[in-house]
């Protein structure tokens, strides 16, 4: 059973460009969570999604950030018009149906904005 997959592992964008981060949950998992880790800090919750539904996006910045988890395909975290402050590691986690407390993490995408 493959773990949580994220790609790309590293992403470099210039200020003003768009960043698209992808996450494929573990097989059988229907819940996806995105977290952001700034350098030297712990992770901060961003959003919780189930298939075709955003359950809680209270941790997402109000502008430029969006997330989706379509019926088919990976979950996507999209950052429009990136700024230097968006440079961070973005982690995706997934959990089985009904077990939101047991979250398994992917390797992360390290976004660098130049």
Partner 1 sequence: GEDVEQSLFLSVREGDSSVINCTYTDSSSTYLYWYKQEPGAGLQLLTYIFSNMDMKQDQRLTVLLNKKDKHLSLRIADTQTGDSAIYFCAETSDSNYQLIWGAGTKLIIKP
Q: Which residues bind partner 1 (CB under 8 A)?
A: 4, 6, 31, 33, 35, 40-45, 48, 55-56, 58-59, 91, 95, 100-108
Residue 52 beta carbon to partner 1: minimum distance, rounded to whole angstroms: 18
Residues 6 or more apart whose Cβ sits within 8 Å of residue 95 = 29, 31, 33, 101, 102, 103, 104
CB of 17 or CB of 59, closer to partner 1: 59
CB of 48 or CB of 86, closer to partner 1: 48
The answer to whether 63 and 86 are in contact (CB under 8 A) is no
| Beta bridge mates, 6 | 23
Residue 112 beta carbon to partner 1: minimum distance, rounded to whole angstroms: 14
């Amino acid at each position: 059973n493959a773990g949580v997959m994220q790609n790309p592992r590293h992403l470099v964008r210039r200020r003003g460009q768009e960043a698209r981060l992808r996450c494929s949950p573990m097989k059988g998992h229907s819940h996806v969570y995105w977290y952001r880790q700034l350098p030297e800090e712990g992770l901060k919750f961003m959003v919780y999604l189930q298939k075709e539904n955003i359950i809680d996006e209270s941790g997402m910045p109000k502008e430029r950030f969006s997330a989706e988890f379509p019926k088919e395909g990976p979950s996507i975290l999209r950052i429009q018009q990136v700024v230097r402050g968006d440079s961070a590691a973005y982690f995706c986690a997934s959990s089985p149906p009904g077990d939101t407390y047991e979250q398994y993490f992917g390797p992360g995408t390290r976004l660098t904005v130049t």
